[in-house]
């Protein structure tokens, strides 16, 4: 999900700036664009770090419930 978030942010930035607003990619603006891409990557890592602990209790509960399930004889 974090990779999808990063991809969507990058696509939105590229489409908004270079397609809709028709801005050219200028060499002097490249460091600014790289800063945006690094921010998008940081947001993706943040989504990953927040999402993993949220799903962990559910995964543990399901695995425990499955392991103690009574099997019919």
Residue with tokens 């607003």: 21
| Residues 33, 57: Cα–Cα separation, whole Å | 38
Residues shown for the chain: 73
33 occurs within a structural domain: yes
73 occurs within a structural domain: no
Q: Which two tokens stand for residue 24?
A: 């050219």
Q: Which two tokens stand for residue 40?
A: 């998008």
Q: Can you give the pLDDT of all 73 residues of the chain as single tens digits?
A: 888 999 999 999 999 999 999 999 999 999 999 999 999 999 999 888 887 777 778 777 877 777 776 666 5
Residue with tokens 């809709």: 20
- How many domains are there within the chain? 1
Q: Could you list the residue range(s) of the whole structural domain that residue 48 is in?
A: 2-67
CA-nearest of 36, 47, 54, 39 to 2 is 47
* Main-chain dihedrals φ then ψ at residue 48, nearest 5 degrees: -65, -45
Residue 36: what pLDDT? 94
């Amino acid at each position: 999900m974090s990779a999808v978030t990063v991809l969507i942010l990058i696509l939105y930035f590229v489409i908004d700036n270079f397609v809709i607003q028709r801005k050219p990619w200028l060499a002097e603006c490249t460091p600014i664009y790289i800063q945006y891409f690094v921010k998008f990557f940081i947001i993706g890592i943040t989504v990953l770090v927040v999402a993993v602990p949220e799903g962990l209790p559910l995964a543990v509960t399901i695995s425990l419930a499955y392991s103690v399930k009574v099997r019919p004889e």
